[in-house]
Homo-oligomer: A and B are copies of this chain.
Amino acid sequence: MRSETPDDSGLAVVAPVEQGGAVQRRRVRKATAVTVRLDDVARHAGVSTASVSRALNTPDLVSPVLRERVTKAVRELNWVPNGAAKALASLRTRTVGAMIPTLGHQNFALLIETLQRELGKARYTLQIGCVENSAELRLQQGLKMVEQGVEFLVLVGEAQPPVLFELLSSRKVGFVITYTSGKERPECCIGFDNYDAASRITGHLLELGHTIFAMIAQPDVMNDRIQQRVAGVRDRLAQAGIAIRPQHFTRADSRSIESGRSGMRTILAAAGDRPTALICANDYLASGALIEAKARGLAVPEDLSVVGFDDTDMSAHLEPPLTTIRVPSREMGEEVAQHILRVLEQGITRLPPPLEARLIIRGSTASPGRAHRG
């Protein structure tokens, strides 16, 4: 019953065939058919290709007998479906793209890992692209992803080249923006409010009585999240009638610990009253600053309060542990994955409620000048 048609070896005959005046030929298939294809499975199982496809993709549409025969044939022939053919025929790639600044930041790595895991469970594939802050490269990467046929795109931040959005909408590729709750496109965002969080952590320092502030932030080109964090700090301080002196505002080279240290050095070298509170745009910078401050003989938080943003793993283990904003990367990853699945499988486009970025008060903040008596 499982015997194959012996003569049907898959080798076509080279034979000109007169038909309607046109000479038609068939190409010779390469004799060494290395790959097992779906029709090999079908022949082996003694059923049609359609049945094989159905048995595997929509099992309840076929009889148990057929299903069994097919799975057996698949197993015996060790068949692995061809994803490209599948994608082409079904017009579904089951692929999602994610464009992030870098994997070098723990939070993005966690986002990606979570996304990949969650989407993988639903048999989707994640394709990543790391592009720091060049609009050109982002567009290019986006185009590449659209070519690859991503059915959805995950972006970080609203600051994207406008052409990218046009591309996505013309191709009808859905997208979601993370790490922000959005200003211009809140209807596409799954994230939290950077501005508000920055404002809150600044408020915490103000409540402690600080009046002289410093700040270290990485470059904010094409980075609306940093822009918002900086704005949140500035505006909150302004409400209290305070401004950061120019010499106390340092633009770090990157988001590294080393940048934080050198930023701290710059600030300490600045003329005028020494600030009592330092706000860093992320925890790498904050960690570096804290370490450098201590190395320079400053007591934290007695001489200087330091706060960060992100709550990286290391932050809780610094001495003193860092006051910071906890960014819900894992939750974001989960929410985003669920959202994507909802859109793709059920057409539900409603977004989940915004996530919370909690203020985590630890030991690196205290009232200015508070001695270590307490």
Contacts and interface: CB of A to CB of B under 8 A. Distances in A.
Interface residues of A, number: 52
Given A88-B88, A104-B110, A83 B149 contact: yes
A245 to B, nearest CB: 27
A50 interface: no
A172 B104 contact: no
A256 B313 CA distance: 8
A84 B288 CA distance: 46
B317 A80 contact: no
A257 B317 CA distance: 8
A127 B256 CA distance: 27
A104 B113 contact: yes
A281 interface: no
Contacts of A144: 120, 123, 125
Interface of A: 34, 78, 80-85, 87-88, 93, 102-104, 106, 109-110, 112-113, 116-117, 120, 123, 125-130, 141, 143-144, 146-149, 170-172, 256-258, 261, 284, 287-288, 291, 294, 313-314, 317, 319
Contacts of A88: 82, 84-85, 88
Which of A78, A84, A104 counts the most chain B CB atoms within 10 A? A84
A84 B93 contact: yes
A123 B78 CA distance: 31
A106 B113 CA distance: 13
